[in-house]
Amino acid sequence: MSVIHLTYEVSGDDFTRAGEASGLVKSKLKKLGYNKDAIRRVAIAMYEAEINMVIHADGGVVDVDIYPDKVEVVLADKGPGIPDVEKAMQEGFSTAPDNVRNLGFGAGMGLPNIKKYTDEMKIDTVLGVGTTMYITVLVKQ
Amino acid sequence: MVVKDLIDILKAKVILEGDLDAEIKTACGSDMMSDVLAYVKDQSVLLTGLVNPQVVRTAEMMDMLCIIFVRGKEPNADMINLAKSRDITLMSTPYRMFTACGLLYSNGLRGGCEV
Ligand SMILES: Nc1ncnc2c1ncn2[C@@H]1O[C@H](COP(=O)(O)OP(=O)(O)OP(=O)(O)O)[C@@H](O)[C@H]1O
Ligand SMILES: [Mg+2]
C-alpha cells in the first residue's frame, strides 16, 4: 500500500522549469521526515530523469509513490525512445546538442548517476513511441 | 569555514543572503551540472560560470548552502527567487574559476573527493 501518491506533468518546452517536480517531491519527503541521504538520492535521480524528459523527449508524466520503506518514481514520456540502452547507460555517452551543453547538461552522466543513486532502475523504451523509467530508492529508517 | 568567510576570501558581493553562519564542509567548481550531481558528498558550495535556473535546482537537490558565480556574473530575478525559498546564499566574485577555487583551497577548503 502506498502512503502517498503524487503525479506531475513535466512540460517539454520550458527548460527553466525542469526540476520543479523533483523539488516538490524533495520538500514533501523532508516534511514527512525521511532520512536526509534517502531524500537526496531520490531528488538527484528524479531530477536527472526529469531533465532527460525535457531535453531528450519533450516532457512527460511523473508518478511518485511514497512508502514507509521506499520511494518509487515512474517517468513516462512519448519521446523518440533510446536506440541502445546499454550504450546510453555508459558514462560520457550523450546525444545532447550544443545548446543543451551550453546550459550545463549533456555530459552523459545522467543515466549512470541515476543507476548509482538508486536501488533499482529499469528502462522500457520503444523507438518512436517513448521511454518509461522506473526507479526505486530504499529508505533505511 | 562558514559561508560568510567566503566573502572576504573571494572579494565577493552577496546577492542573496541565506544562512551566513552555516558551516561549509566541501566545495566544487563546474559548469556541467551533471558532473556536480555525480558526487554526492556533503558539498556545501558550488562555484560556477553558468547562469541559469538549473544551477539553483542542482544546488537544491544537493542540499548546498551557497552558489558563487565567477567572473562577476550575476543571477537573474528568477534564479534569486528560486534560491530565496530554499535558503541558498548567492554570491558573485570577480575572480575567474581557477583562481576562485585556488583561493578557497589555499584557505583550507577541500573538494571532498580525495583520490
Ligand atoms: N527520456 C529519454 N528519451 C530519449 N532519449 C534519452 C532519454 N533519456 C536519455 N536518453 C538518451 O540517453 C543519452 C544518455 O543520457 P544521460 O542522461 O546519461 O546523458 P545526457 O542527458 O546526454 O547528459 P547529462 O545527463 O550528463 O546532462 C542521452 O544523450 C540520450 O541520447
Ligand atoms: Mg541526462
Q: Which neighbouring-strand residues pair with A132? A: A76, A124
pTM of the model as a whole:
0.95
- The shortest CB-CB distance from A107 to any of B34, B52, B54 is to B34
**Ion ligand 2: residue ranges with CB closer than 5 A:** A 52, 110
Q: Is the ipTM of this complex over 0.90?
A: yes
Terminal Cα-to-Cα distance of chain B (whole angstroms): 23
A100: left (phi > 0), else alpha (psi -120 to 50), else beta? alpha
Give the residue, A16 or B15, on which the prediction is more confident: B15
For chains A and B, count residue pairs whose Cβ atoms are closer than 8 Å: 75
Q: Flag if B63 and A48 touch (Cβ within 8 Å).
A: no
Q: What is the pLDDT of residues A23-78, one digit of tens each?
A: 999 999 999 999 999 999 999 999 999 999 999 999 999 999 999 999 999 999 99
In B, minimum Cα distance to A43 occurs at B61
Residue nearest to atom 19 of ligand 1 (CA): A108
Q: Which amino acid is at B8?
A: D
The CATH number given to whatever domain includes residue B50 is 3.40.1390.20
**Residue A36 forms contact with B (CB below 8 Å):** yes
Nearest-angstrom CA–CA distance, B73 and A44: 26
Atom of ligand 1 at shortest distance to CA of A112? 18
What H or E segment, with its residue span, contains residue A122? strand A120-126
Evaluate whether residue B111 is within a structural domain.
no
Q: What number is the average pLDDT over the span B91-110?
A: 97
> Which pLDDT belongs to residue B40?
65
Evaluate whether residue B93 is within a structural domain.
yes
Q: What number is the average pLDDT over the span A96-105?
A: 93
Q: What are phi and psi of A59, to 5 degrees?
A: 85, -175
- Ligand 1 pocket list (CB less than 6 A): A 48, 52-53, 56-57, 77, 79-80, 82, 88, 93-96, 105-111, 131; B 34
**How many domains, in total, are found in chain B?**
1
Evaluate whether residue B115 is within a structural domain.
no
Q: Flag if A18 and B57 touch (Cβ within 8 Å).
A: yes
Q: What is the mean pLDDT of chain B?
A: 94
Look at the alpha carbons of A45, A47, A48, A54 in this order and tell me if their dihedral is positive or negative: positive
Q: For residue B23, give the DSSP letter.
A: B
Query: Quick one: which of A60, A95, A45, A19 has its CA closest to B54?
Result: A19
Q: What is the pLDDT of residues B52-95, one digit of tens each?
A: 999 999 999 999 999 999 999 999 999 999 999 999 999 999 99
Domain that holds residue B28: 5-106
Chain B residues lying within 8 Å of A108, measured CB to CB: 34
Domains of chain A in sequence order: 4-138 (3.30.565.10)
Write the CA distances from B12 to A33, B24, B28, B48, integer angstroms.
35, 16, 17, 14
Give the residue, A83 or A2, on which the prediction is more confident: A83
Write the CA distances from B107 to A129, B24, B49, B63, integer angstroms.
53, 12, 21, 23
- The shortest CB-CB distance from A47 to any of B32, B53, B57 is to B57
Question: At residue A1, does pLDDT exceed 70?
Answer: no
Question: At residue A140, does pLDDT exceed 90?
Answer: no
What H or E segment, with its residue span, contains residue B103? helix B97-106
Q: What angle do CA B96, B101, B104 make, to 5 degrees?
A: 125
> Which pLDDT belongs to residue B44?
92
Q: What is the mean pLDDT of chain A?
A: 95
Residue B74 alpha carbon to ligand 1 centre in Å: 29
Best of A44, A111, A115, A117 to mutate (most B CBs within 10 Å, chain B): A44
Cell numbers placing B32? 556541467
As a dihedral over the C-alpha atoms of residue A40, residue A38, residue A113, residue B24, rounded to 10 degrees, the angle is 40
Alpha helices in A19-137 (DSSP H): 20-32, 36-57, 85-88, 98-101, 110-117
